[in-house]
Each structure stands twice: as C-alpha cells, then as structure tokens.
Amino acid sequence: MFGDVGSGAESWHDIRCMDFTAELEARGLIHDTTDRTQFAARLNSGPIGGYVGFDPTADSLHVGHLLGQVGLRRFQMNGHRVFPLAGGATGMVGDPSGRSEERNLLTRDELEHNVQSI
C-alpha cells in the first residue's frame, strides 16, 4: 500500500534525529549564512524568535506564501518562538507585480480589511 517503506522511513527517521541546522540544510532551507558554525550553535542552544512578514496587498494568502509558513512551522516544532506578521505601512504600497507604472496605494480601510482577512 505504501510502496518501498524502507527508503522513506529511513530518510524520515534520519531527519528526525538531526540537529535543527542539519534538518534545515537537508530540506534545502538554508541557502547562505554569515558564519555557519555560529548560526548552528545559536539555533541549537535554545529558543530564538523568528518572523516572516506578509504584505497584505490582498485579502488572502497564496501558494507563494507557503514556504515562509512552512519555515515558521519548522522553527516552532523545534522549540523556537515564531511571529507571522502582516505588514502595516509597507502594505499600503499595493501590488508590486509591475503590471502598471505606479503601484496603487491602499486606503487604511482596505489595508485593515486585508490584515483581518489574512
């Protein structure tokens, strides 16, 4: 029913037994750091705070926001404090996609609606 249980189970077990930095690296979630050794030591020494900011340019999140949410969840599962944030003043800038020459500014009411909806 589940196919080759051996290879999948072993890789899951290997990840569960890793320190947090090794887990992030195994999942491809670390691209670069200033001092990898100090980064690993700090992550593994006790809880830190981590955040991901979401610009509330719309009243919902999309699949592009998923990686940030998954990253926060990994931090949370490893005992760290997570802070998902919905932008304030920066969110008023509007859609940065480049579909128009100028970004449309959101009103305060539109911004509050989007933040509440997210």
Token pair recorded at residue 41? 């030591």
Beta carbons of 117 and 60 less than 8 angstroms apart: yes
Please give the chain's pLDDT, 118 residues, in tens: 333 344 444 444 444 457 888 888 888 888 888 999 999 999 888 999 999 988 888 888 888 888 889 999 999 999 999 999 887 776 776 555 656 566 678 888 988 898 898 8
Please provide residue 2's backbone torsions phi and psi, each rounded to the nearest 5 degrees: -105, 10
pLDDT value of position 77: 92
Q: How far does Cα 103 stand from its chain's mean position?
A: 25
pLDDT value of position 98: 58
Beta carbons of 58 and 93 less than 8 angstroms apart: no
In 1-118, alpha helices (H): 5-16, 20-26, 36-45, 66-77, 108-117
Q: How far does Cα 95 stand from its chain's mean position?
A: 20
Beta carbons of 56 and 118 less than 8 angstroms apart: yes
pLDDT value of position 11: 46
Distance from the first to the final alpha carbon of the chain: 38
pLDDT value of position 95: 55
pLDDT value of position 14: 47
pLDDT value of position 54: 87
